Structure 1
Amino acid sequence: MSNQSLTIAMPKGRIFEEAADLLRKAGYKLPQEFDESRKLILEVPEENLRFILAKPTDVTTYVEHGVADAGIAGKDVMLEEERDVYEVLDLKISACYLAVAGLPGTGMNEVAPKVATKYPNIASSYFREQGEQVEIIKLNGSIELAPLIGLADRIVDIVSTGQTLKENGLAEFQHICDITSRLIVNPVSYRMKDQRLDDLVNRLSSIIEGN
């Protein structure tokens, strides 16, 4: 049934703007006020779509639990959260990467190396793969502060342009992985609303490949 309603969870901010732009290019009629709205649930009845605006880290949770049929999530969130969702399409928006950074010319503490990050799972598996045992300190914001105040030897964080690192006198040491936003779907929704979701994937794919 192509008229089934779809609920899509989207992160607020830059990813939301880029994703809304992609959806419009794919032929979805999203009202202009959609972009300025402060509402957390946006209905687009003419397209039979409902959008839930959430924190980036919550999008995967909403999709896993089925309150959203689909969602748009950064690969960083997916690697960190390891939710039971299907990743169906690389939207190639909001490109950035995860990197290890710290104060230039400093080594890791020999005795008890500490790494501060928003991404404890990604960071611990990266250092484990390098054969290094580190203590992970989870922070929620201003990760760049950690080396400056002596909390950690290194940080693992998202880098877009590198400007924030430079401004805080930090240097990048290792590139961990590239990040873009992905379209994810709930496994049950994928069976129940396969036509509607396939249509969404096909329409978005043709725009992405055409870019």
Structure 2
Amino acid sequence: MKKIILAVPKGRISNELIPLLETMNIKIENDFFDSNTRKLYFKTNHNNFEIIRVRSFDVATFVAFGAAQIGVAGNDILKEFQYNEIYSILDLKIGKCRLSVAKKKDEINQIDDQKGHILVATKYKETVIDHFAEKGIRAECIKLNGAIELAPKLGICSTIVDLVSTGNTLKENNLVETEVLLNITSRLIVNKIAYKVMNSNITNWVKRFERAINE
């Protein structure tokens, strides 16, 4: 039986995924749980099932290019990259949050699109451009990969688009959530070619995920 590689994101989603994997009787080698490890490739108790751990924004790319046959990625990432090489198979119902527009509290009532232009700090460039284009507004994106809430505070711009969970980080940085672009959960994704070539094997693992979600 051919090997299946599962790409999982680092951080919170990885932690939320572990109980699902345990329900599926997937036991990952101990290094996976070592916060000091620099390993990215991990074996499991199944000889034909291994795991790679990468940045959340890279999961879809690894799956799209066939380096991993399946992966776990938020629908925010799928929307941003829109890879044709991927099937979104299953909503895993973990990693719940939202992608939102937020503005400086003292500028929330200002009309910043009078000239059909807005400056936005975000790492979701394509999603933001498409969203504001639907409103007839040209969005110019300042690409940041972290600490996005600092952009308005330091005068780079007054608007950001970022992930929001509790909203506490926004409040602490004097920002107000003004619009939700997307409600997010993590999805099980599959490389289309792998799904055709390894259909029975991948389908078996998809069914295991499905049963684990419903338990």
Give yes or no for contact 1:108–1:154 (8 Å, CA) kept in 2. no
Q: Which moved more, 1:90-99 or 1:42-51?
A: 42-51
User: For residue 87 of structure 1, what is the aligned residue in structure 2?
Assistant: 88
TM-score by length of 1: 0.91
User: For residue 48 of structure 1, what is the aligned residue in structure 2?
Assistant: 48
> 1:34 is paired with a residue of what secondary structure?
helix
User: For residue 12 of structure 2, what is the aligned residue in structure 1?
Assistant: 14
Aligned letter for 1:10? V
> 2:93 is paired with a residue of what secondary structure?
coil
In the alignment, is residue 178 of structure 1 matched against residue 175 of structure 2? Answer: no
Shift in Å, 1:49: 1.1
Shift in Å, 1:185: 0.7
> 2:27 is paired with a residue of what secondary structure?
coil
List per-residue Cα deviations over 1:57-108 (Å, max 9, x = no partner). 1111111111111111111111111112111111111100000001124124
Give yes or no for contact 1:113–1:134 (8 Å, CA) kept in 2. yes
List per-residue Cα deviations over 1:109-148 (Å, max 9, x = no partner). 3345211111011111111122222322211211111111
d(CA) in 2 for partners of 1:172 and 1:165? Answer: 7
Give yes or no for contact 2:28–2:45 (8 Å, CA) kept in 1. no
The size of the alignment, in residue pairs, is 208
Give yes or no for contact 1:102–1:153 (8 Å, CA) kept in 2. yes
d(CA) in 1 for partners of 2:138 and 2:69? Answer: 39
User: For residue 193 of structure 1, what is the aligned residue in structure 2?
Assistant: 198
d(CA) in 1 for partners of 2:32 and 2:155? Answer: 44
List per-residue Cα deviations over 1:159-188 (Å, max 9, x = no partner). 011010011111010011101111111111
Give yes or no for contact 2:93–2:186 (8 Å, CA) kept in 1. yes
Q: Which moved more, 1:186-195 or 1:110-119?
A: 110-119
Q: How does 1:133-172 map to 2 (within 5 A)?
A: 133-172=138-177
Q: Which moved more, 1:153-162 or 1:17-26?
A: 17-26
Quick one: structure 1 residues 140 and 33, their matched pair in 2 at CA, closer, same or farther if it must change by over 3 Å?
closer
Give yes or no for contact 2:29–2:43 (8 Å, CA) kept in 1. no
Moved over 4 A (4+): none
Shift in Å, 1:27: 2.4
In the alignment, is residue 128 of structure 1 matched against residue 143 of structure 2? Answer: no
Aligned letter for 1:174? E
RMSD: 1.6
Aligned letter for 1:13? G
Shift in Å, 1:45: 5.3
Shift in Å, 1:39: 1.2
Structure 2 segments unaligned to the other structure (5+ residues): none
d(CA) in 1 for partners of 2:29 and 2:40? Answer: 15
In the alignment, is residue 25 of structure 1 matched against residue 26 of structure 2? Answer: no
d(CA) in 2 for partners of 1:59 and 1:35? Answer: 19
Shift in Å, 1:5: 1.5
d(CA) in 1 for partners of 2:97 and 2:76? Answer: 10
Q: Which moved more, 1:115-124 or 1:201-210?
A: 201-210
d(CA) in 1 for partners of 2:38 and 2:156? Answer: 37
